Amino acid sequence: MSMKTLAETNEHAQDAGTTKTTMRAAVVTSPDQPLLIADVPIPVPGRHQALVRVITSGVCHTDLHAARGDWPVAPKADLIPGHEGYGVVVAIGEGVTTLTIGEHVGNAWLWSACGLCEYCVTGWETLCPEQQNGGYSVDGSFGEYMLVDEKFAARIPAGADPVEVAPILCAGVTVYKGLKMTGVKPGQWVVISGIGGLGHIAVQYARAMGMRVAAVDIDDTKLELARHHGAEVTVNAMKGDPGEAIQAATGGAHGVLVTAVHPRAFGQALAVTRRGATIVFNGLPPGDFPANIFDIVLRAITIRGSIVGTRQDLAEALEFYARGQIHPTVHVEPIENINDIFTRMEQGKIDGRIVMRYSDD
């Protein structure tokens, strides 16, 4: 990247910070090495892209998978992870008509999609085979600046708290869409299995959507948090049988959202359902789960996966947040802690969501 190009790009930028040409970022150099905190060039927005000065970024479990190279399709080389980035537009690329400098936006896992394939044109852009993923196939928000695509950048509602809003961009939209996919109606029961980074936000969305909530976890403090957010029934799966307890308390759940990171929770989900229920998987542990075919067929149970959400889902998820319905549990840490954050994440020691803050505005 030439300095001239960047200077030209930033000609109209109102942010003094953009006159510099390098930024602090956390870079994946190799799957078996810690992330490198380094000064790297500030990216230059291409056609229909904007340069965003990142204010905060949440740390998602997917970032850990990206850094460790856990998935079949490898991320880009020298990846900067992060897809819960919130910031302010400081420069725009050629052809941009819908974003302006000074606007608050976010990046997302669904960084862009083709807009033309059978999935994109039928409301399933999250399944687009040509999609780009923030902090995976393109650089993300683990740095002081990031790029967004004008058609896919999340528009952040006015008055959003910079720290609280970050987890909405992945965790929030993921559970919100997952809950929609359960088909549970207001007044009906949903079981949230796993009250971690995703699950504690799921309880809040479920309540905001009018659902009655039963929560399952193996940690009493997490179940206490679920009750605080409005769960009427809580079950510690280490101390009791979730199937028996939830059948007794609710008559069987109309839907289940599994956010847990242990495969055991996926098999247990069947036992808590009533006839005709839908079970949605959000969690992504490696492995398989047992499922009784007879039980699924005779009770007409639907089991389905759900991955993040469309732009419309994200806009709706942000709307719930903007109306004060959703308050993720967040802890602020500096980017220098990223390797330690990943270690704690692997050990299951993170309560709620870690959000890295790059500047005070």
Closest CA to 196 of 5, 337, 54, 351: 351
Closest CA to 191 of 261, 118, 281: 281
Tokens 């994109």 identify what position? 120
Q: What is the dihedral of CA 321, 323, 324, 328, to 10 degrees?
A: -10
Task: Please state the closest distance from residue 162 (CB atom) to Zn ion, in A.
Answer: 18
Amino acid in position 184: V
Task: Please state the closest distance from residue 124 (CB atom) to Zn ion, in A.
Answer: 9
Q: How far apart, in whole angstroms, are the C-alpha atoms of residue 185 and residue 272?
A: 17
- Going through the chain in order, the beta strands assigned E by DSSP cover 22-27, 36-41, 49-58, 85-92, 104-106, 110-112, 132-133, 145-149, 154-155, 189-193, 212-217, 233-236, 253-258, 273-281, 302-305, 330-333, 353-357
Instruction: Give the nearer residue to Zn ion in terms of CB position, either 120 or 341.
Output: 120
Asked whether the beta carbons of 148 and 49 are under 8 A apart, the reply is yes
Instruction: Give the nearer residue to Zn ion in terms of CB position, either 38 or 127.
Output: 127
Task: Please state the closest distance from residue 39 (CB atom) to Zn ion, in A.
Answer: 26
Q: How far apart, in whole angstroms, are the C-alpha atoms of residue 307 and residue 197?
A: 16
Task: Please state the closest distance from residue 115 (CB atom) to Zn ion, in A.
Answer: 6
Instruction: Give the nearer residue to Zn ion in terms of CB position, either 36 or 117.
Output: 117
Instruction: Give the nearer residue to Zn ion in terms of CB position, either 169 or 301.
Output: 169
List the alpha helices (DSSP H) in the chain.
Answer: 3-9, 61-68, 171-182, 199-208, 220-228, 242-250, 264-268, 293-298, 311-322, 338-346
Instruction: Give the nearer residue to Zn ion in terms of CB position, either 89 or 128.
Output: 128
Instruction: Give the nearer residue to Zn ion in terms of CB position, either 124 or 275.
Output: 124
Task: Please state the closest distance from residue 196 (CB atom) to Zn ion, in A.
Answer: 13
Partner residues linked to 354 by β-bridges: 331
Asked whether the beta carbons of 222 and 235 are under 8 A apart, the reply is no
Task: Please state the closest distance from residue 61 (CB atom) to Zn ion, in A.
Answer: 7
Binding residues for Zn ion, per CB under 5 A? 60, 62, 113-114, 117, 120, 128, 170
Task: Please state the closest distance from residue 74 (CB atom) to Zn ion, in A.
Answer: 18
Tokens 């995703």 identify what position? 198
Task: Please state the closest distance from residue 173 (CB atom) to Zn ion, in A.
Answer: 9
Instruction: Give the nearer residue to Zn ion in terms of CB position, either 60 or 89.
Output: 60
Instruction: Give the nearer residue to Zn ion in terms of CB position, either 127 or 296.
Output: 127
